[in-house]
Amino acid sequence: MQKKMIFVAIFVLIMLVGSVFAQNQAIYRQDTPDSLLKAIREMVQEENAKKDSITESIQNRYREKQKVKQKESKELISNLERVDKPEGPKAFSKVWHNPPVPQHYSGMCWCFCTTSFIESELKRRFDKEVKLSELYTVYWEYVEKIKRFIKMRGNSEFGQGSESNAVFYRMESYGAVPKVVYDGLKKYDKHVHNQLFRDLNNYLQYCKNENFWNQEVIITTVRAILDHYIGRPPEKFTYKGKQYTPKSFYNDHMNISMSDYAGFMSTKSASFYEQAEFEVPDNWWNDSTYYNIPLDEWYSIVKKSIKNGYSVVIGGDVSEPGKIGEEDVTFIPTFDIPTNMIDQNSREYRIYNRTTTDDHGIHIVGYKSNGDGKIENDWFLIKDSGRSSRAGQYHGYYMFRGDFVKLKMLTFMVHKDMAKDILKKFEK
């Protein structure tokens, strides 16, 4: 009897333990949504959809209005009455230059015009013909701008623009390469830099907002962005059967130096016959080596240079009613100011009130004198990388009348041989 009771007790114990183990097993079941939470979510989604539809409706109406406005927008231009427009580029006495190339949707005019100028100088001085890479210089210009942005803790201009002397400075630091080696067209088949600049600028603003100034990290990130859009520049390459680095190509093959060139401006905001800063945003490093001279001498150097086979890289304002892309021509209309009234003061007035700004760089590659029998005018053949220069018959060229150069152009660079007498006045 006792053995039987012990057996029953053991059996009951086994059943109880088995029951415990069964309760601890993990199983899946269909999820049962919370009806209250579901109702709240649906209410919020319905409200958001209503708000989104209202917003979208307003945005659509705004976009349609903008389209209509754009279609109806008007641009003030001048007619060509009494404009002694030359027949075309063939009518000009020209210096050697490579064919015009477009900068497309970018702010690289400063580099395109100065690179073209350097190419012409290589031909004039050494009889060397080469098409240089503009984008190689642009790549390193961004790096240098950002280094200064870091050094100044965000208090330094950061944009797509720059000045002509920056091209020489970058080449002297980083060298140069032919365009066949590096064209900067990695992501697109045209130069489209709006997203590139937006990404760089957004990153820099983030660094500024976070007070993060680790140069090594920032430059590494910046170069990754540049590499993504325009490709990483070569460290060495072969050109015409010879191996180069960018520095050896600049030093040995090009053998050109910024010290042989001078930049000139003409403004009453600084003393004449003194070197001073060209005070515009694109002079982001506040370069103060510009030779400031009176307008008559300034213009005479431009004219003398191109007439003697020296090209000129020049920059200034091109947002004027006398600039007509479809006609390949640029001049000052009489309703603005008569040509014979253009002088130092009328020029200065426009600089002061900012109707003359530094917004485009171009390359003067030809000259001719033209007249209607009564008035003789200077005309300059302009090689232009901007989009408007492809609106007319002569793609990549404009014909600038002398009054426009005198009134609206701000600075130029030329070989010092063309300004020896003027430069002596700075030695006193």
CATH placement of domain 101-256: 3.90.70.10
Report CA dihedral (29, 35, 40, 42) to the nearest 10 degrees.
80
Percent of the chain with pLDDT strictly greater than 70: 93
Options 3.40.50.970, 2.50.20.10, 3.90.70.10, 3.40.50.300; CATH of 259-428: 3.90.70.10
Q: What pLDDT, on a 0 to 100 scale, did the predictor assign at position 39? A: 84
Name residues whose C-beta falls within 8 Å of residue 38's C-beta, 6 or more positions apart in sequence: none
H/E segment holding residue 257: none
What mean pLDDT is reported for the chain?
A: 92
Instruction: Please check whether residue 232 is in contact with residue 174, taking contact to mean a CB–CB distance below 8 angstroms.
Output: no
Cα gap 368→247, rounded to integer Å: 38
Tokens of 88: 């075309």
Residue listed under structure tokens 């015409």: 240
Q: What pLDDT, on a 0 to 100 scale, did the predictor assign at position 234? A: 97
DSSP 192: B
Q: What is the CA radius of gyration of the chain?
A: 33
Q: Collapse the DSSP code of 74 into the 3-class scheme (helix H, G, I; strand E, B; otherwise coil) and give the result.
A: coil
Q: What pLDDT, on a 0 to 100 scale, did the predictor assign at position 388? A: 93
Q: pLDDT (tens digit, 9 = 90+) per residue, 356-369? A: 999 999 999 999 99
Q: pLDDT (tens digit, 9 = 90+) per residue, 305-359? A: 999 999 999 999 999 999 999 999 999 999 999 999 999 999 999 999 999 999 9
Residue among 83, 114, 78, 121 nearest 402 (CA): 83
Average pLDDT over residues 97-102: 97
Q: Is the pLDDT of residue 85 over 80?
A: yes
- Lowest-confidence segment of 72-76, 116-120, 137-141, 420-424 by average pLDDT: 72-76
* Same fold across 101-256 and 259-428: yes
* pLDDT-based confidence at residue 112 (cuts at 50, 70, 90): very high
Q: pLDDT (tens digit, 9 = 90+) per residue, 245-263? A: 999 999 999 999 999 999 9
Average pLDDT over residues 256-278: 97
Name residues whose C-beta falls within 8 Å of residue 403's C-beta, 6 or more positions apart in sequence: 331, 332, 339, 342, 377
Cα gap 376→367, rounded to integer Å: 13
* pLDDT-based confidence at residue 71 (cuts at 50, 70, 90): confident
Q: What pLDDT, on a 0 to 100 scale, did the predictor assign at position 40? A: 83
Q: What pLDDT, on a 0 to 100 scale, did the predictor assign at position 9? A: 64
Q: pLDDT (tens digit, 9 = 90+) per residue, 234-248? A: 999 999 999 999 999
Q: pLDDT (tens digit, 9 = 90+) per residue, 124-145? A: 999 999 999 999 999 999 999 9
pTM for the predicted model, two decimal places: 0.85
Instruction: Please check whether residue 292 is in contact with residue 273, taking contact to mean a CB–CB distance below 8 angstroms.
Output: yes
Task: Report helix angle 194-209 to 215-230, nearest 10.
Answer: 170
Q: What pLDDT, on a 0 to 100 scale, did the predictor assign at position 32? A: 74
CB atoms within 10 A of CB 57: 10
Q: Give strand pairing partners of 379.
A: 368, 401
Q: pLDDT (tens digit, 9 = 90+) per residue, 371-419? A: 655 567 999 999 999 999 999 999 999 999 999 999 999 999 999 999 9
Task: Report helix angle 134-151 to 194-209, nearest 10.
Answer: 10
Q: What pLDDT, on a 0 to 100 scale, did the predictor assign at position 6? A: 66
Tokens of 84: 């002694």
Q: Is the pLDDT of residue 56 over 80?
A: yes
* pLDDT-based confidence at residue 10 (cuts at 50, 70, 90): low
Domain residue limits, the chain:
101-256, 259-428
Residue among 137, 133, 230, 227 nearest 185 (CA): 230
Percent of the chain with pLDDT strictly greater than 90: 79
Phi, psi of 265 (to 5 degrees): -135, 170
CB atoms within 10 A of CB 191: 24
